[in-house]
Each structure stands twice: as structure tokens, then as C-alpha cells.
Structure 1
Amino acid sequence: MAEYPFIRRCITETMEGLREGLTLFSASSRTAVIYSIKPDDPIFIFDPQNLLIGHEPKFKELYIDSDDWHKKNSLRYDKKKFSNVIPEKNLELAGLISYGGRSSSVGYQMWFTDHHPDMCCIGPTERWLEQAVYRFSHDIANEEELYTGISGGFLKEYATHAVRDYLVDEMNVLLGWDTQIRVYPILEAILKISRTPEEGEWPIGKLMFVEKQSLDKMNFTAEFPEEEQPVLDNVKHIRKLLQTVENSDLKLVAAENTIIGISGEDHPDFSITADFRGKYGFLKLNKNRVCSFSDGSFQSTTRKAKLVQVEEALMDSDMDPEDATDLFKIITGIVHNAASQRHGCTIVVDLNEHPGFMMGHSLVNPLDLRNPESLELAKSLSKVDGALHIGADLKLHDFACLLEGSYVPGESRGRGARFNSALRFTAEHESMIVIVVSSDNPVSVMMGGTVLETKWKHEASLICKIPVPLEHWVAASD
């Protein structure tokens, strides 16, 4: 029993750093852990933000009704040994990413976090959770006298390391261990280039890193003499060269620490590509996105608006579910187009049986947005000042509409006229959803004079403020 306060401290500090780091990487995130230290210990859960609510039946099946999780542990309990960690893979639970392990100092542990719908790839997050497994095993092995308390801070700053760990793991699978590609210098160069403007413009274009052995398989549009190949450390020069492949299918090709030339080919057997798109960009492993980057750091987001609040509002409405799904796809298409074109727009979704009157440009024959040509026209009309007016019949009835209303609490001068006008408008019009896309701010969804949030919030658990036996947690949720 005397060990419990120390174990609680280790878990709490590790989890807090993990949560803060993942929040920076993937937007607001929650974390939780299920663990058992000694062979005869019961299995505990620590879920301070209700991340695991709804999965009680599965946990009961895995950990209470069965002791297979306990029998699998082939390691002898020994606090002095922690480095040999046997991995436990993702449990594949809906809405969650998980990763666990077994070691001589911690018999079993499984860490969890949110699986955000707009993640490029879950690989880096899994590597992050893997590091939490290792850090917890290390801290428990060290005991209280030698505990440094650095695990939380280490995990908070783990983004670049998580991306690197994932790339290295995939590279070893595809190429084997004998490879000359060094990932850390590549990631460092990408972030430096992304922060380097040229004549006031942010970088656009692709920079592809390949193995030197694969260069013979590539056809170059232009190849630099070996003695004149630009060095990767010369960030400003690389940034200037990137202008040569702007808005084209060409890309700069690098091997080891130099730029070899320019090629129009997709990639050889293996490549890491930085796709610069101005203020942000994407990191790809072969053709697959790993993560995005902006402001000098990596993030998991696809940089497309999630619009979860819109989907929830439509599903809660009286619309036919199939029509609601089609309408959500239409809205998503318009929003993503506006974001990619970097212009703001406003969409009014009118859920009334008969669309109401709005002051703007009306159409004699409303556009059926299920028609691809009409949808493309609607995307273009969204560039005009004012709002699009879309009905529950999936048709565009008006564009360039003015949104008016009286002052409501929640207005923000810092958010601009488009945001505040939409907020006022929804306060005075029932069954109206307004989506505001700003050229430099996240998408806002409003209804009833308030900004809609996702249904789950980071509410503190009343049951699991501290680690508790999993059996008690499951029983309390019945």
C-alpha cells in the first residue's frame, strides 16, 4: 500500500505530459491508462476525463471475465529490469487509439487517447503511446528515491520524435535495417524551410528524400554536378531552389544531405516527401500522408474542417438520414473548397420545411446541389460577399445574403463581422445552422445564438479521479 502514492504520482505526471503533448499535436485530447504492476495485483484504471466511457462491456470481457491478459505475461517481476518491453497492440476500439506493453517492472499497461477524425495517420500517436509505456516502466523501476519526474515533460515535447519513430519503423519494414536515410536531419530541414519566406512568400512545392542507392532508378529533368549539389543545411538556398518546382509536378530530390536535382517522377521504392503549401504542408511516406506541419511544428491534422458539430446537428434534426448525409457532404465540399482557396465564406443551412426569405440574390430555379455542376457553381458563388442559403431540400436558394440581428452574449470583436453577424442571425432564426469559414481562423458552427461544440467535453470523472480497480469502475457505470 505504501507504494500507491508513488505509483499514482508517476501515472498522473506521465499522463498530464502525454495529454498536453497530444493536444498540441492533434487538438484537444484526453488520455487514460489500464495497468497492473505486480503479478498478483488487480488491474486498475485511471480515466480522469471519461475517455473510456462506453467501452465498459469490452473491458469487462477482456479483463474481468477473462484472465488471458494476465496469463500472457512471461516476464518475471523484477523492478530493476524495465528496458525489455513486450508490446501489446492497439485494441481497435471505436474512437480510440491504444498501445500497451509488458515489462519486468510493470506487468501490464495499456494507454489510450482520442482517435480524432481528421488525423493523417495514427502511426506517430501510437509511437507516442509506446513511449509512455516505456517511461512508466522506467519510472516504476527506479522507485521513489531515484524518480526524476521528467517523463511528463519529455512526452509533452515528443511530437518530432514520434514522427521520426514512426518513419524509422516503416522504413525498417520496407528497406531493412541497413539504410543510409537519417530521419532527424530531414525533419529538422523541413521545419526550417517551412519557416523561411522568400520575398515575403511562404514555400510552395515538393522536396523528396530518397536513398542514394535508388537514384539510378530515377529519371531527372535536371541533375546537379556532384561537386555543386546544394547542402541541406543551407536552408535559404534550398528555399530559393524550391521556387523552381512551385505549382508543378516537378520536385526537388535529395539524398543524404544534398539536393541531387529535379525530377517529375512520383518516387522510387521508398521516399519521404515534404509537400509545402504556403503556411502549412504535409509530410508523406511514399504516397501516404504521415502528418502536416505549420508554425515550426508537426501536427496530425489533415487540415480539413471536421464539421463534427454540423453532422451532429443534422443527425438530430427531422431530416431523412440519407438526405442529412448528402447535405453534410455538400456542406463539407463547399467548406473544404473555401479553405483550400483561402477565402472566407458563410453558409446558412435552413432546416425549416419551407426555406425562409433571406435578403440577397435569389434564384428563379434553386440549384440542386446533388448535381456536381451545380455544386461547383455554389462553391464559386461562396466567394461573393454574403452567405449561401441552402435548404433542407438540398438546394441553393439564395447567395450573397445579408445576416442581420441584435447583439447577443458571446460576440467577439476579435473574430470579425462575419462571425458576429452569424451569431446574431442564428439567435433570431430557429432551425438555422450557420457555418462560418474564415481565411485565418478555424471553422465556426452556430445555432440558436451560440457556437456549437462537440457533444463530448473534457469533464472530470466523478468515479476515476484517482486510479481505481477496473472492476469497481465497470460496476459503477452499470
Structure 2
Amino acid sequence: MSLDSFKKLCIANILNGVSDGLLKYSSPSRVALLFAAGPNDPIQVFDPQDLLFGHETVLEDVFVVNEQQWRQHILEKIKSQPKGYLIPIENLGLSGLIEFAGASSDFFYQAWFTEHHPDMCSIRPTEKWLEQAACLLAHDFTTCNPPINCSDYVLKNYALQAIADYMVDERNSHLGYDTKIQIPTVLNHILSISKTREEGSWARGYLFFTDPVNIESINFLTMFQRNERPLVSNIKHIRKLLVSVERSNRKLVSDGNYVVGITLAPVPEYAIVADFKGDHGFLNMGTQKVASFSDGSFYSTTRENKLVELEELLLDSRLNVETAGTLFSVVSGLIHKAGHSHYGSTVVIDMNDAPLVLPGHVLDPPLSLLDSDNYNLAEAFMRIDGAVHITPDARIRGFGCLLDGQSITWENMARGARYNSALRFSATTSRVIVVVVSADRPVSIIYNGIELNGMCRWKPIYQYMPEILTLDKHLHGVQI
């Protein structure tokens, strides 16, 4: 294998490792790389899934129009740095993307990009993922003799370490001392507790970890005797103790090694918090969400459907902004409630001037969903078979409504009757938005017979090596 081929293979393996790892942590995530190995090398682009499509103007402005200024800026940054030390460089600020850019004396410049999904708890662990990819690429590219699949494997399984890296850096930068808590170990304990049942029930309640120096400042309800404090590594014991704080404001407190006691006090700033919610939970740092966890793994998702497509449809409609915002707030609340409660339901948002007459239970008069009692009643209606009929003035006109229409060629029999009935109805009925909530939580936004949030630019990366283009070729539309 030639040297150039080996370096291309390094790049492809690392990019695939990031993409495969983020697929498990977030959802299908395209990844792209801009790089120049040496200070006089042209910028090259490896973007096998068109992630950078639409950002050509920014790329041309930075790397073509202001090329000399950009190169001089990087040279100034790295001239006093030790050999092999990767320093962060200002991001390009491409909208909708998560970025990490770095430079070093032995690998002049690289910028990694991936998608910013709307339902992420925090983008910071993903930034750490991209930073790790940059470090591995600089190492593999320059040493030319690493085990070829080693970096690929590391990046495919980097979720827990990415979270730990972010937490360590954040705590150190704000607290001003090295953490005494072994954060990767704590994260593994949290996952183990989340998988452990007690008398058939999953864990619920709060457990937070704070440094030993902060323990004395916490106002405890009660503390365990020092020589009898439960070890956090004793997973079964900790799972039993969580029963004492579930469904309450009480919290278990740990110093990283032992459970010290129980408190009602607020969570200290930058404490590591596990919020167990049954079959899932959330990892926080202080009050800020970092990730969720379920099935023994961490994920970036907030477990809330962001309903971006629905919001855009309402804002682009004839409704004024205030009315559209109120309607979106009402409908999204009902949808989130259905998702959290794990029941399937359908909402028809009728945008017609004269509301449709749908077969089902018609309410007389329609009920305003701005009234809390009516809103709670609507939540109950969502559980009943059939669709809930809502008009733009945030009123519910009916429930248990039947949806039907002519058969269409793009039905998906794998999705069941509720979904396909909504497709048919939407395809043959003008000015209606249909939202389908499945019992296993996916939400479909359907308009004119098309599932809008089912559309994706994702393309598989095949086994052959895609071309690495110069930026000039990329900007002028040369396709991989």
C-alpha cells in the first residue's frame, strides 16, 4: 500500500468510526472533514454524505477569499506549541452543525463537522468526540504505522468517555481544582444501577456525586455512620437505597466512593447527578442536562420530540405568529404527554376556514384547550382510539375520529393502521396537518400525504473509498 493510500485509509477509518459511534449515541449522523496536512498544502474535503452542502459561501470566504490571512493566523497559533500538541482553533460557525477545529505543528489544520440534532441534551460530549477524532488523525497520519483499525474501534465506542472528558474539563475550569471523583467509574456505576431491578421495579430517584470537600456544606436529613457507609460499587445495595428517595424531593448523596447520606438540599453546582426515572434516566451536571441513559447506554437525546417540522408548518401558514405559537404549544404538550405515557394517538390540526366534519365524537360546543380542565380532558381523549380534531383557535372539536382515504402507493405496511390511515387521509384532504404518535414514542408529522420528518439526506457509505477532493473542486460542484 502506498503512503498516500495509507493516509486516505486512516482518514476514512476515523470518519467512519465517528459516524458509527454517533449513530448509536444520537441517531444517523453525517460527518465531514476539512484538512490541510502542511502549512502550504491545499485545503481538502472529505464529505461522503454531503453534510457541507449549502455552506459553500462561508467556506469560500474563509479559505479562498481570505486564505493568506487564515494561514497566517494558524501559523501564529502553533509556532510556540510543542510538537504533536493539538490546540483548538475558532470554529467556522456553520449553522446546524457541531464543529471542532484544531491545529498542530505536525498536522497543520483540520476541522470536523457533524449534525446538530434538535433533541440533544448537550452538544459538548459530541464536540469532545470530534476533538478525539482530530487527535487520533494527527497521530495516525504522521506516525504512518498504527494498527489500522485501532482508532476506528476507539471512536465507535467513545460515548461514555466523551461524556467523562467533557465533565472533567468543565469541572476543572470552573471549580479550579482537579476532581477527586473518578468520573468514568461513576458513569459506569450509574449505568449498572439503571439496569438493576428491585422487586421487579426499575430505579427511580436522585443520586448525586460531589467532591468530599463539599460534603460538610450540605444540609443532610440524615447521614450514615462513617464506618458503615455503603460503597457506590455495591450496585444492589445502592439500588435498594434508592427506594428511600423515589417519588420525592429527597436525594442520595455520594462523595464518589460511598453514599454519605440523604438530603433535601439543592444539588450543588457542577455535581454529577443521576436522575433515575424507571426504564430511563438523565445525567446532569448541576442543573444542566448532559445525556440520557437507558438499556445500559448513554444517549444524547432529551427523549422529547422537538416537532420542528410542525412548528415550521404552523409559522408558514396563514396564522399570525402569536396564534401559531399558542397552537404549537398546546399540540406539542399533548404529543409529549402521549409519548411519555407510551400510548399511541393521532392529532388532526384542521387549518380550513370551515372546519371539516369528521366521523367520530363531535363536541358541542368545542372546548378551548387554553383552559386547564379542558386540556386535561383532551389528554384523556388522546388515549381513545381514533384522532383528536383540533382547530387553529386551539379548540378541540372532536375525538375518536375515523380517518380514511384512497389507497396510495407510498404506504408503509410496517407502520400499522394508524400511520397509514393518516397518510391516506392527509393525501386526499387539503389544509390538514396530521401528527401520529406511536406507542414506542416515534412521532410522524404528515402533510399532503408526506411524512415530513421521515425525509433524510442520509446516504450509506459503501465499501469503496470515496474521493477526497480539494476545496476548489468541492466548491465547483465536483461530485464524489
TM > 0.5: yes
Q: Which residue of 1 aligns with 2:85?
A: 84
Residue 246 of structure 1: SS of its match in structure 2? coil
- CA distances 1:96-151 after superposition (whole Å, capped 9, x unpaired): 110011123210001001111111111101100100110110111111x4452321
Q: 1:14 to 1:283 in 2, by over 3 A?
A: same
**Residue 119 in structure 1 maps to residue 123 in structure 2:** no
1:211 touches 1:270 (CA, 8 Å); kept in 2? no
Query: Does structure 2 retain, via aligned residues, the 8 Å contact 1:38–1:77?
Result: no
**Identity of aligned pairs, percent?**
41
Q: What is the Cα deviation at residue 448 of structure 1? A: 4.2
Secondary structure (helix, strand or coil) at the match of 2:220 reads coil
The offset of 1:386, in angstroms, is 2.6
* Residue in 2 that maps onto 1:243: 243
**Who is 1:218 aligned against?**
218
Residues 339 and 441 in structure 2, CA contact (< 8 A), matched pair in contact too: no
In structure 2, give the amino acid aligned to 1:264.
L
Q: For residue 328 of structure 1, what is the aligned residue in structure 2? A: 328
Q: Specify every segment of 5 or more residues in structure 1 that has no aligned partner in the other structure, as ranges.
A: none
Deviation at 1:210, TM superposition (A): 0.9
Instruction: Please list the CA deviations of residues 187-216 of structure 1 after superposition, one character each: whole Å capped at 9, or x if unmatched.
Output: 001101111122222111111111111111
User: Residue 282 and residue 460 in structure 1: after superposition, are their counterparts in 2 closer, same or farther (change >3 A)?
Assistant: closer
Partner-residue secondary structure (3-state), 2:172: helix
Q: Say if 1:39 and 1:77, in contact at 8 Å, map to a contact too.
A: no
Aligned residue-pair number: 471
**What's the secondary structure of 1:396's corresponding residue?**
strand
- 8 A contact 1:105–1:140 mirrored in 2: no
CA distance in 2, matches of 1:441, 1:269: 32
Residue deviations 1:48-95, cap 9 Å, x none?
A: 2111122111111211111233112244799xx864111124333210
Q: Give the equivalent residue in structure 2 for 1:98.
A: 99
Q: CA RMSD in A?
A: 2.6
Q: How far did 1:33 drift? A: 0.9
2:22 aligns to what? 22
- Structure 2 residue 131 is matched with structure 1 residue 149: no
**Distance of aligned partners of 1:454 and 1:83 in 2 relative to their CA distance in 1, 3 Å threshold:** farther
C-alpha contact (below 8 Å) 2:444/2:454 kept by paired residues: no
Which residue of the partner structure matches residue 111 of structure 2?
110
Kindly provide the amino acid, as one letter, of the partner of residue 26 in structure 2: S
Give the residue type in structure 2 aligned to 1:106.
F
Query: Unaligned 5+ residue runs, structure 2?
Result: none
User: Which residue of structure 1 aligns with residue 419 of structure 2?
Assistant: 419
SS of the counterpart of 1:282? strand
Deviation at 1:344, TM superposition (A): 2.9
Q: Is the 8 A contact 1:217 1:268 kept in 2?
A: no
Q: Which residue matches 1:193?
A: 193
SS of residue in 2 equivalent to 1:453:
helix
Moved more, 98-107 or 415-424: 415-424
Question: Is the CA contact (8 Å cut-off) linking 1:97 and 1:122 kept in structure 2?
Answer: yes
CA shift in 2, pair 1:375/1:89, >3 Å: farther
TM-superposed CA distance for 1:407, in Å, is: 5.4
User: 2:302 matched to 1:280?
Assistant: no
TM norm structure 2: 0.90
**Is contact 1:366-1:395 (8 Å) kept?**
yes
Matches within 5 A, 1:58-457: 58-66=58-66, 67-71=68-72, 72-74=74-76, 75=78, 83-143=84-144, 145-315=145-315, 317-320=317-320, 322-370=322-370, 374-405=374-405, 408=408, 415-453=415-453, 456-457=456-457
For residues 436 and 90 of structure 2, what CA distance do their matches in structure 1 show? Answer: 40
Change (3 A) 1:27 1:205: same
Change (3 A) 1:65 1:299: same
How much does 1:428 deviate? 4.0
Output the amino acid matched with 1:431. R
Note the alpha carbon deviations across 1:284-338, whole angstroms, 9 max, x for none: 0011111111111111111101223323444555545554443322221111122
Identify the residue that residue 8 of structure 2 maps to in structure 1.
8
Q: Deviations over 1:214-266 (max 9, x none)?
A: 11111111211112211111111111111111111001111121111111111
Question: SS at the partner of 2:100?
Answer: strand
Q: 387-396 or 214-223, which moves further after superposition?
A: 387-396
Change over 3 Å in CA distance of 1:456–1:344 after alignment to 2: closer
